[in-house]
Structure 1
Amino acid sequence: MKMSRKKIAILVVGLLVVAGVIIQAVWRPFAHRKAAETGEIVLDIHHPDAVIDSEALSRLPRDILRVPLLHDVLTQDFVDYYESDNTRLSAEGALRRLAFEHQLDWRDELIRRVFDEPAHVLLWRSPDGRLGYWVMSMRRNGLAKLLQGFGNVAASDAQLSQVARLSGGVPVYALKLAVGRTILFATKDDRLVVLSAPGVLLDAKGGLLGERADAVSEMLSSGRDDAARVYQLDAPGDAPKGHRLVVSANYLSFGYQAFFSGIDALRFDFSPNGSAAANWQTAALIEPGKLPQHWNSADLWRALPANPAACTSLPADWKEASGLLGKVADAGAQGATAIGDQLAGPAAVCWYAKSTLVAPLFVARVKTQDAASSAALKAALGKTFGNVIGAYEAKAAQSGEAGGDYRRLPVTTREQGADVTVWQRPVSARAGTALSSKAPFASQLSAERYFPVTLALARGYMVFSPDARLVDDTLAVLDKRYPALADTLAPQRLPRTMLTLTPSSAAALIEREAGAALPPDQESVFRNASRTHLVPKLHALAHYPPVSLTLPQDLPGSTGWVPVEWWFDRAKVGAGADAGGAAGVATGGADTPADLPGTEGD
């Protein structure tokens, strides 16, 4: 039976409601906002922070759970959340309302078919730090082909309105989903582009933003955008297989790209394999010219204490990092440069179960120096530490430190041999790692806890942490009195290891931190929820063996994608490890690659 033009228009509206909330419903943590912006949104249309190419966005959460480790940690709740959140349920309600009011024979499989369409999504960060702004491009298949010619049909629903026209007279429509939430969409031939908010395309007066309008027009004409060029990707086909997720390193580092120079992005590819275990592949977009000493991290792993909860090597750009230091230190750019010029190679940051999440350990390599250079560096570090580290201490009036009304406890300096110097300053803080009552200077502290912030220059390394215990452990490693992280890694992979994780230590750290953040007398409800839902997941995670990520031994001569290998130290799974928790990874020899079904990309 032929459908009237009015019914076609109503069906169009329903399809676009579903298409428009695909990201809102499936990726709600990325796209949640309190209200839609009415003015221009700040973003670079040519350089998205993340890209998703998916055969079907609705299947992405389930495919993520096909990785054994993530399945044990996230369980089915992860999928249920995206399938039953308020945005998706409200969209289904809107579809049913349209069908009822206009006497359309819609069945539930219509919603599933639209959600199963292939999609290409560009995402940008919003002010809250989430990937809250997006543009989705898709080819209109199946029932969506009814969209052809709908522009000639007068919209009878108050939620739909035309707001602009792109080049070639292509209309842009606004669809109001809820109060404060409106999406835009445009169609041309067999292509559809949906935008998360009017401000992505329109200015405060409703006019088109030139570059963005041109980009949307290109997506409608050819399906192409600048993401492939920016991230050196193969242009997605009209029907991509599986999923491809690309996230910029700038977004992952919260904008501190100076500490991730040489890494432009990370990519995760999922290839469907029927009912078999998931096959996720990982790659990094590397710019070799910006990697310090080709990102050789062997010296760092030899200096770091063993058994970290998590530890990563950072290919820092010390020149740019010095610029950041110069902005916060009274010594200015000259003093900061004097420090940055003496640092070489990558740095490392590690978290340990014995400390807290807010007190990591930082280690960097110092260039080979003569006596004069060493003395100059020591003087610059001491001055900068005293200048930058510390907070106002209301009770520190008798500390003897100059500085007017801004009082801080004094910096103590000690020499531990000819080539070891340690600086330390106590800083009062509720989240501190040490108890004030046990300190000899307790009367001068302003809180029940404090950080013994410590910096050391020792045997060619600079070591820093808010927790003095981690610095002491590192000095013990350098003195051969404490096991090094390198002792637990394969020697041939030390130079190219970029990250290592000990799930048992990480689980213990997170469990303790969660408990500290939820005091039983203040957060009893959340604390009980944590015990019921979080703790079992952490215990499941703890049964997995240590894992490390490595780059290839030989990096390309120019910018390009290189594979990232995941390695599991299977020999370290204890005999008492739960069989279910370690399934799929607790077999094979010691320190073998993740080559078993279901382990690639855990």
Structure 2
Amino acid sequence: MKMSRKKMAILIVGLLVVAGVIIQAVWRPFAHRKATGTEALAFDIHRPDVVIDSEALSRLPRDILRVPLLHDVLTQDFVDYYESDNTRLSAEGALRRLAFEHQLDWRDELMRRVFDEPAHVLLWRSPDGRPGYWLMSMHRNGLAKLLQGIGNVAASDSQLSQVAKLSGDVPVYALKLAVGRTLLFATKDDRLVVLSAPGMLLDEKGGLLSERADAVSGMLSSGHDDAPGAYQLDAVGDAPKGHRVVVSANYLSFGYQAFFSGLNALRFDFSSNGNGNGNGNGNGNGNAAATWQTSALIDPDKLPQQWNSADLWRALPANPAACTSLPADWKEASNLLGKVTANAGGADGAAAIGDQLAGPAAVCWYAKSTLVAPVFVARVKTQDAAGSAALKGALGKTFSDVIGAYEVKAAKADGADSGYLRLPVTTREPSADVTVWQRPVSARSGTALTSKASFASQLSAERYFPVTLALAHGYLIFSPDSRLVDDTLAVLDKRYPALADTLAPQRLPRTILTLTPSSAAALVEREAATALPVDQEAVFRNASRTHLVPKLHALAHYPPVSLTLPPNLPKSAGWVPVQWWFDRAKGDAAAPDAGTGAPDAPADQPGTEGD
């Protein structure tokens, strides 16, 4: 039966509304954000922060839950979220009304096509730090002929309009979903490209941004873009198998790439037949059904000491909630420190500190402290007495310049009428090779109670951070919580067990992350309770007890898990597999194993049957 222009327009509108709904449902780019206007948006069209290739977007949440740990921690709401989302329900209501009023019988088919078609999605961070801008490219397949008359519809429709033309006279259409929410889309032959906001393609005057217009034209012509090349990936083509999710390390590090030198991206592949999704290097290691595989894009030339973290694990206390190794670029990090201390003339001291640090650093969270007070550890280069004295001087001055807050009561106690007054820095040397600097800093989220401090009368809040820096036995240690520094010093003095004692010796150099679920669960549960006082947040606190706490208790039953890189890294930049290990005690039949059931046995990746 021939379809009229009116029915064709309704179909086009329904298709794009549902396309926007699936993106909103899974990544929520519109959630809690001011609607994007017509101004051009700042991002690099050639290098997205996230790349998703999926055989069917509707299956992605459910396939994520094939990872046993995530299956126990996440709820069914994670899978069914897009079914009950307000935007989805509103769109379904509109589609039902249109189908009823115009005697159309395409709603179910339309929903199935959009949710189950292969899709290529690129996402960029918005100013609030979330992946708020997105572009989706997909085949129209059976809908191609139905889209041919869209130009005639756009000429007279108030919701659908033509706003520009790409090269080859390819029209670009704008579809208004709501006030301040407009999608752009373009079609050519059997391809469809949808953009989440006009500013992704148009400038303030409505003109095309040439570089981005060329990129979109290329997607419509060939179905390809620069994202695979930016991350050294094979193009998956128009019919990807399973899912492939790539996230840039710059996005994961909130822009602090200086602390992740040599790590460019992480990739997660899902395949129902155990085959990788095209990493360009042929190093997929899955051979079981329905597996997730993890890989890292490594540039070995930028890795400090080839990312060997063994010395760090020998210095850190055992049983952390979470620990990760950071392949820091100390020259760039010292430049950042120099900018912080520039007003105090500390740029030279920052450079001197950066020159004396070597190898990767580590950051760890412990259940005894808080999420805002981890401990940082880095190695110091071997030096003579003069070099050691110079480093101590630079550390002491920089610590005094950077750390501290204005203490109103302290200023009054000293009789000062104005000025930036902080509590003094205390310095102690408990042994010949150990120097410790400390300064109390008032803060509502501090780790220590003001009432228990001898200097309580000078503090400005009920809690404070005993911010501490230590130089000891060739290590630099820093934490807002002095207890974690003291524990690390105890490890170096052989008075406290080290994290290395709980890891397999052969895995120490290549371990890049370790997690103790029981400690992590205890830390998150206590932090949630602190953030939701019973007298101020009774409703949210009750919701936390009902929904969050049971999931944390389920997480706590998992054994420690760690991630390792291969023993030998490539000589040039490329993808390498990341291996997951679940370390369970011998005879603990109830703990999830890593595939073979043996202690320290490797899991092929999370999601492998038996992991």
TM-score tier after normalising by the smaller chain length: over 0.9
Q: What amino acid maps onto 2:353 in structure 1?
A: I
Contact 2:514/2:561 (8 A) holds in 1:
yes
2:18 is equivalent to residue 18 of structure 1:
yes
Counterpart pick for 2:367 among 343, 353, 357:
353
> Deviations for 1:172-206, whole angstroms, at most 9, x for unmatched residues?
00011112111000000000000000010011111
Task: Please report how far the alpha carbon of residue 299 of structure 1 lies from its aligned counterpart in structure 2 after TM superposition.
Answer: 0.3
CA distance in 2, matches of 1:269, 1:284: 11
Contact 1:31/1:133 (8 A) holds in 2:
no
Task: Tell me what 2:160 maps to.
Answer: 160
2:344 is equivalent to residue 303 of structure 1:
no
CA distance in 2, matches of 1:597, 1:228: 24
CA 1:445–1:500: 2 relative to 1, 3 Å: same
Contact 1:286/1:559 (8 A) holds in 2:
yes
> Deviations for 1:31-73, whole angstroms, at most 9, x for unmatched residues?
6633122210111111111100000111111111121110100
Task: Tell me what 1:381 maps to.
Answer: 395
Contact 1:432/1:451 (8 A) holds in 2:
yes
Q: Could you say what secondary structure the match of 1:234 adopts?
A: coil
Task: Tell me what 1:148 maps to.
Answer: 148
CA distance in 1, matches of 2:444, 2:412: 22
Task: Tell me what 1:470 maps to.
Answer: 484
CA 1:123–1:572: 2 relative to 1, 3 Å: farther
CA distance in 1, matches of 2:182, 2:564: 44
CA 1:198–1:426: 2 relative to 1, 3 Å: same
Contact 1:428/1:447 (8 A) holds in 2:
yes
Q: Could you say what secondary structure the match of 2:246 adopts?
A: strand
Contact 1:260/1:314 (8 A) holds in 2:
yes
Q: Could you say what secondary structure the match of 1:91 adopts?
A: helix
Q: Bigger CA drift: 319-328 or 139-148?
A: 139-148
CA distance in 2, matches of 1:23, 1:327: 39
Task: Please report how far the alpha carbon of residue 336 of structure 1 lies from its aligned counterpart in structure 2 after TM superposition.
Answer: 0.5
Task: Tell me what 1:283 maps to.
Answer: 295
> Deviations for 1:379-423, whole angstroms, at most 9, x for unmatched residues?
000011011100010111377799961111100000111110000
Q: Bigger CA drift: 216-225 or 138-147?
A: 138-147
2:353 is equivalent to residue 344 of structure 1:
no
Q: Bigger CA drift: 328-337 or 49-58?
A: 328-337
Residues 536-555 of structure 1 correspond to what in structure 2 (within 5 A)? 536-555=550-569
CA distance in 2, matches of 1:313, 1:547: 15
Q: Could you say what secondary structure the match of 1:570 adopts?
A: coil
2:604 is equivalent to residue 590 of structure 1:
no
> Deviations for 1:108-145, whole angstroms, at most 9, x for unmatched residues?
24312221110001100011111000111001123454
**What number of residue pairs does the alignment pair up?**
596
Contact 2:559/2:592 (8 A) holds in 1:
no
CA 1:557–1:400: 2 relative to 1, 3 Å: farther
Residues 528-543 of structure 1 correspond to what in structure 2 (within 5 A)? 528-543=542-557
CA distance in 2, matches of 1:573, 1:516: 37
2:227 is equivalent to residue 218 of structure 1:
no
CA distance in 2, matches of 1:401, 1:366: 41
Task: Tell me what 2:175 maps to.
Answer: 175
Q: What amino acid maps onto 2:208 in structure 1?
A: L
2:456 is equivalent to residue 442 of structure 1:
yes
CA distance in 1, matches of 2:267, 2:399: 38
Contact 2:594/2:601 (8 A) holds in 1:
no
Residues 407-422 of structure 1 correspond to what in structure 2 (within 5 A)? 407-422=421-436
Task: Tell me what 1:102 maps to.
Answer: 102
Q: Could you say what secondary structure the match of 1:391 adopts?
A: coil
Task: Tell me what 2:337 maps to.
Answer: 325
CA 1:584–1:161: 2 relative to 1, 3 Å: farther
Contact 1:399/1:410 (8 A) holds in 2:
no
Q: Bigger CA drift: 313-322 or 172-181?
A: 172-181
CA distance in 1, matches of 2:55, 2:140: 13
Q: What amino acid maps onto 1:426 in structure 2?
A: P
**Unaligned runs of at least 5 residues, structure 1:** none
Q: Bigger CA drift: 150-159 or 237-246?
A: 150-159
Q: Bigger CA drift: 105-114 or 469-478?
A: 105-114
Task: Please report how far the alpha carbon of residue 104 of structure 1 lies from its aligned counterpart in structure 2 after TM superposition.
Answer: 1.8
CA 1:181–1:30: 2 relative to 1, 3 Å: closer
Contact 2:594/2:602 (8 A) holds in 1:
no
Counterpart pick for 2:534 among 520, 525, 535:
520
**Unaligned runs of at least 5 residues, structure 2:** 275-287
CA distance in 2, matches of 1:502, 1:572: 17
CA distance in 1, matches of 2:426, 2:190: 71
Task: Tell me what 1:135 maps to.
Answer: 135
Task: Please report how far the alpha carbon of residue 77 of structure 1 lies from its aligned counterpart in structure 2 after TM superposition.
Answer: 1.4
CA distance in 1, matches of 2:488, 2:187: 60
Task: Tell me what 1:505 maps to.
Answer: 519
Contact 1:186/1:194 (8 A) holds in 2:
yes
CA 1:126–1:322: 2 relative to 1, 3 Å: same
Task: Tell me what 2:271 maps to.
Answer: 271
Contact 1:247/1:265 (8 A) holds in 2:
yes
Residues 224-263 of structure 1 correspond to what in structure 2 (within 5 A)? 224-263=224-263
Q: Could you say what secondary structure the match of 1:416 adopts?
A: strand
CA distance in 1, matches of 2:384, 2:239: 62
Contact 1:566/1:600 (8 A) holds in 2:
no
Q: Bigger CA drift: 30-39 or 306-315?
A: 30-39
> Deviations for 1:509-539, whole angstroms, at most 9, x for unmatched residues?
0000000000000000000000000000000
Contact 1:135/1:193 (8 A) holds in 2:
yes
CA 1:31–1:446: 2 relative to 1, 3 Å: closer
CA distance in 2, matches of 1:398, 1:414: 27
Q: Could you say what secondary structure the match of 2:431 adopts?
A: coil
Q: What amino acid maps onto 1:565 in structure 2?
A: Q
CA distance in 1, matches of 2:418, 2:460: 18
Task: Tell me what 1:371 maps to.
Answer: 385
Task: Please report how far the alpha carbon of residue 584 of structure 1 lies from its aligned counterpart in structure 2 after TM superposition.
Answer: 6.0
Task: Tell me what 1:9 maps to.
Answer: 9
CA distance in 2, matches of 1:594, 1:363: 29
Q: Could you say what secondary structure the match of 1:566 adopts?
A: strand
Task: Please report how far the alpha carbon of residue 273 of structure 1 lies from its aligned counterpart in structure 2 after TM superposition.
Answer: 4.4
Counterpart pick for 2:405 among 391, 407, 417:
391
TM-score (norm 2): 0.94
Q: C-alpha root-mean-square deviation of aligned residues, in Å?
A: 2.1
CA distance in 1, matches of 2:44, 2:241: 28
Contact 2:170/2:187 (8 A) holds in 1:
yes
Task: Please report how far the alpha carbon of residue 552 of structure 1 lies from its aligned counterpart in structure 2 after TM superposition.
Answer: 0.6
> Deviations for 1:424-472, whole angstroms, at most 9, x for unmatched residues?
0011111111111111111111111111100000000000000000000
Task: Tell me what 1:73 maps to.
Answer: 73
Q: What amino acid maps onto 1:314 in structure 2?
A: L
CA distance in 1, matches of 2:582, 2:608: 9
CA distance in 2, matches of 1:34, 1:58: 27
Q: What amino acid maps onto 1:321 in structure 2?
A: A
Contact 1:307/1:505 (8 A) holds in 2:
yes
Contact 1:55/1:240 (8 A) holds in 2:
yes
Task: Tell me what 1:488 maps to.
Answer: 502
Task: Tell me what 2:420 maps to.
Answer: 406
Contact 2:68/2:606 (8 A) holds in 1:
no
CA distance in 2, matches of 1:232, 1:361: 34
CA distance in 1, matches of 2:470, 2:566: 33
CA distance in 1, matches of 2:428, 2:20: 63
Task: Tell me what 1:205 maps to.
Answer: 205
CA 1:402–1:497: 2 relative to 1, 3 Å: farther
